[in-house]
Chains A and B, each alone.
Chain A
């Protein structure tokens, strides 16, 4: 079955440590996205990538970094510079513009807790 996998589902880190969240998709989608969701709130875009070796900052990129070396993979690193890293992180992917109604497909999410 095609889909998006995120691992791990739960992640715990100490303050001051960098941590990398995994996102893999086998949908052959060009575009991938990272969102942050805080309790009772909507989704905020962190980074997105339209194509391999290219990515752009979203609305809340400070304290995060990404890479896109392969079409299938879009890992997110939460750095020690992120002041409030505890949140639920969602990865998504979509077809390129012109090949669909722009819907995004989401992974199951990673809940990160930093203490």
Chain B
């Protein structure tokens, strides 16, 4: 079945460092891919998405490219801020005619001044 694997956290960085959070997936067909962010004590917010191979999603300085050949959707940001500290979830759309999402386990990012 479909699945998502994320790199384990926590990821600890200094402010202005480069960020990569790895995400790989297993899926049949052509799923859409998403990154969600969760700040402490809150719900999930959609950060970016990509709906087909080679699409690049971007938002708030974050980027991720849908790589079908490597089944990956790695999240990157060139210069992180303390305010980026959160848990990041990679997800893909499932199958079955409804909008079921399959989530990775999440990666906690801590950014220090």
Contacts and interface: CB of A to CB of B under 8 A. Distances in A.
Contact of B89 (A43, A48, A94): A43
B97 interface: yes
A102 B29 CA distance: 15
A46 B70 CA distance: 31
A103 interface: yes
Given A42-B89, A42-B104, A105 B46 contact: yes
Contacts of B34: 103
B51 A50 contact: no
A106 B43 contact: yes
B44 A45 contact: no
Contacts of B89: 42-43
Contacts, number: 55
A108 interface: yes
A85 interface: no
Interface in B68-92: 89
Contacts of A109: 41-43
B42 A104 contact: no
B100 interface: yes
A111 B100 CA distance: 23
Given A42-B103, A43-B89, A50 B43 contact: no
A104 B100 CA distance: 9
B32 A102 contact: yes
B101 A104 contact: yes
Interface in A89-110: 90, 92, 94-97, 101-109
Given A48-B98, A96-B99, A104-B46, 15 more contacts: A4-B43, A6-B43, A41-B105, A42-B103, A43-B103, A48-B100, A95-B99, A101-B49, A102-B93, A103-B32, A103-B49, A104-B101, A106-B36, A109-B43, A111-B41
